[in-house]
């Protein structure tokens, strides 16, 4: 028999649910999205004893089945929809031994849906240190379940867990709470109307705004009539239900769990005294941010140079090895430089995700949220906006999705609107190459000018985000309850495996996501740069030969002149020339114009585009940087990339909204075209004006 067992992993945030998932599936996992929404769907395969396979879904972390966000909604929708192909044969609820009481609330809710439910008590390695002892037999009998005592850190209990999963049919589905005790009249009435339905399931349908599949909706159609009670009354019943659940849990834990406080060693309060301190807390946070930027700029420089050079050599090698022709040219001048533009991201993206993963895993991120809430609120943001603003330094897309746990809509909307100002990784290659070209190499007080410029750009991005938040807060008239709650988890040493998997998965997703766009654009650009209409393009050699016939030029010089003449009259050259009048006041030429146009799809395309444009027709093996340094300003003469045009370009990229994926995600998260269009227009206009002022002032 080879029937797969469907397993749903469910648990509160910070219980190590993902560690359990990683321990069960190893690298045998797949991250995707739930259809139609951008909630991450993680699933994997786990081999159980006797050749049985389990298909495991790691559901988003939630505190209860009463969903308050899109992510949490996924959990309840799956558990209520028996027709879903992923509907679990068994639910595995992961809990943290130190927060067992609160974690069990979710367990009782799921158990009441009469799905076989297994309890994982995680972080068992901490029991001794905290003086906790558990009476597992007692807990199993009172909760009517099987318990796996697990420590993913010490790799204990995973085999037991697998064993228990494979015997899922033995688990009782007896519910924990008799709903009638909450309001006998109301629930008896409900029971009479739907004799074949689970009361708790009905109750969830009544109290939630869940988007059910059509079948489920039909099944529950008449439930609408039961929303007779006022919202406030329903909430009072929910409160009563919660109290009853806790009574049940407290009763059980009184005997099942004992804590000997004299044994407990409290690392939390010692660390918190420093890390959330009124002064030291902020100093440490600042130092950590500095360290992150140091890593991105300095440490990733070496692998990035290496990647840059390797791709130029590869391109050269291909050109020499393959027979001349359109295909070789496409490969060497379109695809390889384009790919290089993607691969060069990997070190920085990986570093950013690495730090973000460590900050999350250790529990430090919640302390930052706590420290920053008051300050951020002054700007119309929430402490929780710090996480999107920091992850925005990697990529605005996951950052905007991370705003989902901001409870207040206005604070959330403002966070979404200003996050694209933070310096995302896609801007980095643009910054790095322009800084290298126009900022001198000297040092001041041991800090290099170039590093300082980069740091300044980050500060400008962050400062603009904060300032525009402040303005938006004054302008936007949205009323809503301010509400904020965040769990302060225990401090934990990050698990290497968790961090590694996060870094690999996220980097991969980013590279492949952005990669597809960059590659496509590179190919299109190569085509547009290699072909052109009319006489000027097709007879370039003749034209140049006649033009310079009198001057005694070497064959190389002639070839170079032909190539640039061709480029100028190719399709892309024509497009670039068309927009040149608009961008000349900013100090750019038509080649940069092409890069600007193409980078409205995605900023990172800029370097790739220039690489493609400059390598078309170029002969020598050269890095992109050297080619850019050699460019001459067609009007003013002298190098094209001067301090003035460089700064102007840097500022343009700092402010302009050049990312279609971000606009798409903003549309999806705000459910309206109004906000992304506003972002596009305002940010780009602002960028143009600032770049204009900068160039005119500096030139």
Partner 1 sequence: MQDILSHLKRGERAIIIDVSSIHIPLKLLEMGCLPGNAVELVQVAPFQDPMYLNINGSHLAIRKETASHILIEKVTHE
Q: Does 104 bind partner 1 (CB under 8 A)?
A: no
| Binding-site member from 88, 157, 337, 489 for partner 1 (CB under 8 A) | 489
Q: Does 260 bind partner 1 (CB under 8 A)?
A: no
Q: Which of 58, 57, 45, 59 is nearest to 2 (CA)?
A: 45
- In the bound state with partner 1, the residue whose beta carbon lies nearer, of 43 and 415, is 415
The DSSP output letter for 148 is E
| Binding-site member from 73, 117, 166, 366 for partner 1 (CB under 8 A) | 366
Stretch that binds partner 1, among 1-9, 189-197, 370-378, 689-697 (CB under 8 A): 370-378
- C-beta of 238: minimal distance to partner 1 in Å? 6
Q: Does 618 bind partner 1 (CB under 8 A)?
A: no
- In the bound state with partner 1, the residue whose beta carbon lies nearer, of 198 and 259, is 259
How would you classify residue 512: left for phi > 0, otherwise alpha for psi between -120 and 50, otherwise beta? alpha
Binding characters for partner 1, 168-197, by CB under 8 A (x = yes) = ------------------------------
With contact defined as beta carbons under 8 Å apart, do 94 and 122 qualify? Answer: yes
d(C-alpha 442, C-alpha 432), whole Å: 16
Handedness of CA 393, 395, 400, 406 (dihedral sign): negative
| Binding-site member from 70, 343, 488, 519 for partner 1 (CB under 8 A) | 488
- C-beta of 95: minimal distance to partner 1 in Å? 13
With contact defined as beta carbons under 8 Å apart, do 606 and 593 qualify? Answer: no
* Distances, alpha carbon 409 to alpha carbons 412, 421, 474, 487, in Å: 5, 20, 15, 20
| Binding-site member from 219, 333, 360, 407 for partner 1 (CB under 8 A) | 407
- In the bound state with partner 1, the residue whose beta carbon lies nearer, of 13 and 303, is 13
Buried b (16+ CB within 10 A) or exposed e, 31-65: eeebeeebbbbbbbebebeeebebbbbbbbbbbbb
With contact defined as beta carbons under 8 Å apart, do 351 and 296 qualify? Answer: yes
- In the bound state with partner 1, the residue whose beta carbon lies nearer, of 283 and 693, is 283
| Binding-site member from 142, 236, 508, 577 for partner 1 (CB under 8 A) | 236
- C-beta of 289: minimal distance to partner 1 in Å? 18
- In the bound state with partner 1, the residue whose beta carbon lies nearer, of 129 and 235, is 235
Cβ-count burial of 325 within 10 angstroms (0-12 exposed, 13-18 middle, 19+ buried)?
exposed
- In the bound state with partner 1, the residue whose beta carbon lies nearer, of 101 and 560, is 101
Q: Does 411 bind partner 1 (CB under 8 A)?
A: no
- In the bound state with partner 1, the residue whose beta carbon lies nearer, of 382 and 502, is 382
Q: Which of 608, 111, 136 is nearest to 342 (CA)?
A: 608
**SS3 (DSSP) at 94:** strand
Q: Which of 178, 199, 95, 79 is nearest to 139 (CA)?
A: 95
Q: Does 105 bind partner 1 (CB under 8 A)?
A: yes
| Binding-site member from 243, 447, 475, 520 for partner 1 (CB under 8 A) | 243
| Binding-site member from 228, 320, 482, 672 for partner 1 (CB under 8 A) | 482
**Helix 409-418 and helix 449-475, axial crossing angle in degrees, nearest 10:** 140
Q: Does 45 bind partner 1 (CB under 8 A)?
A: no
**Helix 231-256 and helix 100-111, axial crossing angle in degrees, nearest 10:** 120
Stretch that binds partner 1, among 59-67, 157-165, 341-349, 352-360 (CB under 8 A): 59-67
- C-beta of 491: minimal distance to partner 1 in Å? 11
- C-beta of 284: minimal distance to partner 1 in Å? 14
| Binding-site member from 155, 211, 228, 239 for partner 1 (CB under 8 A) | 239
With contact defined as beta carbons under 8 Å apart, do 220 and 207 qualify? Answer: no
- C-beta of 220: minimal distance to partner 1 in Å? 21
Q: Could you give the residue ranges of the DSSP H alpha helices within 330-380?
A: 336-343, 346-362, 364-378
Stretch that binds partner 1, among 87-95, 371-379, 391-399, 629-637 (CB under 8 A): 371-379
- C-beta of 623: minimal distance to partner 1 in Å? 48
Q: Which of 610, 625, 608, 614 is nearest to 305 (CA)?
A: 625
- In the bound state with partner 1, the residue whose beta carbon lies nearer, of 376 and 540, is 376
- In the bound state with partner 1, the residue whose beta carbon lies nearer, of 75 and 369, is 369
Task: Looking at residues 262 to 291 of the shown chain, list those that interact with partner 1 (rule: CB under 8 A).
Answer: 268-269, 272-273, 276, 278
| Binding-site member from 13, 37, 38, 68 for partner 1 (CB under 8 A) | 68
Q: Does 440 bind partner 1 (CB under 8 A)?
A: no
With contact defined as beta carbons under 8 Å apart, do 461 and 422 qualify? Answer: yes
- C-beta of 404: minimal distance to partner 1 in Å? 14
What is the end-to-end Cα distance of the chain in Å, rounded?
Answer: 77
- C-beta of 300: minimal distance to partner 1 in Å? 34
368, HSE (Cβ side, Cα atoms, 13 Å): 21
Total residues belonging to the chain: 699
d(C-alpha 10, C-alpha 18), whole Å: 10
Q: Does 244 bind partner 1 (CB under 8 A)?
A: no
| Binding-site member from 331, 452, 486, 678 for partner 1 (CB under 8 A) | 486
Residue with tokens 């038509």: 590
With contact defined as beta carbons under 8 Å apart, do 150 and 158 qualify? Answer: yes
- C-beta of 598: minimal distance to partner 1 in Å? 45
- C-beta of 481: minimal distance to partner 1 in Å? 8
Q: Which of 93, 203, 186, 75 is nearest to 143 (CA)?
A: 93
Q: List interacting residues with partner 1 (CB under 8 A).
A: 63-64, 66, 68, 98-99, 101-102, 105, 232, 235-236, 238-239, 242-243, 246, 268-269, 272-273, 276, 278, 366, 369-371, 373-374, 383, 407, 481-490
């Amino acid at each position: 028999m080879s029937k797969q067992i469907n397993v749903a992993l469910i648990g509160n945030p910070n219980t190590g649910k993902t560690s359990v998932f990683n321990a069960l599936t190893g690298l045998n996992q797949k991250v995707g999205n739930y259809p139609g929404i951008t909630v991450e769907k993680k699933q994997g395969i786990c081999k159980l004893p006797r050749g049985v396979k389990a298909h495991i879904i790691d559901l988003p972390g939630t505190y209860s089945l009463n969903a308050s966000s899109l992510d949490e909604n996924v959990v309840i929708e799956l558990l209520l929809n028996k027709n879903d192909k992923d509907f679990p044969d068994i639910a595995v609820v992961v809990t943290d031994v130190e927060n067992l009481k609160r974690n069990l609330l979710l367990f009782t809710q799921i158990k009441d849906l009469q799905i076989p439910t297994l309890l994982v008590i995680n972080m068992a390695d901490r029991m001794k240190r905290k003086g906790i002892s558990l009476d597992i037999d007692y807990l199993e009998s009172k909760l009517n379940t099987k318990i796996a005592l697990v420590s993913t850190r010490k790799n204990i209990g995973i085999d037991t867990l697998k064993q228990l999963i494979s015997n899922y049919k033995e688990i009782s589905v007896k519910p924990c709470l008799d709903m009638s005790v909450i309001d006998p009249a109301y629930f008896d009435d409900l029971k009479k109307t739907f004799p074949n339905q689970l009361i708790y399931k009905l109750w969830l349908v009544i109290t939630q705004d869940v988007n059910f599949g059509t079948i489920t909706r039909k099944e529950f159609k008449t439930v609408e009539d039961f929303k007779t009670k006022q919202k406030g009354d329903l909430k009072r019943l929910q409160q009563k239900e919660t109290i009853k659940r806790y009574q049940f849990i407290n009763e059980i834990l009184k005997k099942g769990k004992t804590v000997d406080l004299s044994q407990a060693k409290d690392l939390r309060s010692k660390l918190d005294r420093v890390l959330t301190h009124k002064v030291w807390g902020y100093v440490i946070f600042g130092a950590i941010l500095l360290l992150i930027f140091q890593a991105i700029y300095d440490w990733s420089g070496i692998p990035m140079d290496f990647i840059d050079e390797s791709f130029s050599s590869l391109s050269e090698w291909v050109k020499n090895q393959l027979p001349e022709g359109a295909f070789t040219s496409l490969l060497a001048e379109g695809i390889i430089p384009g790919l290089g533009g993607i691969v060069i991201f990997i070190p920085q993206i990986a570093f950013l995700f690495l730090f973000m993963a460590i900050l999350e895993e250790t529990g430090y991120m919640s302390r930052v949220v706590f420290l920053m809430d008051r300050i951020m609120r002054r700007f119309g943001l929430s402490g929780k906006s710090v996480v999107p603003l920091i992850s925005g330094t990697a990529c605005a897309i996951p950052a905007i999705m991370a705003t989902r746990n901001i409870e207040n809509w206005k604070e959330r909307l403002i966070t979404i609107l200003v996050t694209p100002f933070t310096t995302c990784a896609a801007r980095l290659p643009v910054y790095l190459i322009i800084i290298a070209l126009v900022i001198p190499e000297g040092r001041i007080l041991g800090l290099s000018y170039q590093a300082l410029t980069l740091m300044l750009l980050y500060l400008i991005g962050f400062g603009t985000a904060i300032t525009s938040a402040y303005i938006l807060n004054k302008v936007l008239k949205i009323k809503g309850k301010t509400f904020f709650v965040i769990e302060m988890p225990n401090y934990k040493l990050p698990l290497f495996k968790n961090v590694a998997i996060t870094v690999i998965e996220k980097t991969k997703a980013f590279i492949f996501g952005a990669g597809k766009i960059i590659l496509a654009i590179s190919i299109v650009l190569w085509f547009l740069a290699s072909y052109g209409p009319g006489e000027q393009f097709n007879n370039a050699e003749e034209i140049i030969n006649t033009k310079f016939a009198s001057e005694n030029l070497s064959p190389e010089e002639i070839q170079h002149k032909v190539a640039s003449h061709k480029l100028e009259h190719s399709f892309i050259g024509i497009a670039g020339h068309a927009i040149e009048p608009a961008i000349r006041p900013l100090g750019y030429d038509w080649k940069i114009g092409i890069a600007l146009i193409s980078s409205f799809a995605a900023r990172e395309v800029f370097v790739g585009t220039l690489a493609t444009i400059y390598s078309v027709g170029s002969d020598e093996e050269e890095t992109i940087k050297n080619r850019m340094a050699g460019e001459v300003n067609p009007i003013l003469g002298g190098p094209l990339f001067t301090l003035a045009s460089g700064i102007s370009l840097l500022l343009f990229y700092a402010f302009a909204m050049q990312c279609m994926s971000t606009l798409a995600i903003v549309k999806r998260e705000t459910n309206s075209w109004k906000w992304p269009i506003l972002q596009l227009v305002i940010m780009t206009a602002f960028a143009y004006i600032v770049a204009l002022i900068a160039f005119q002032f500096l030139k």
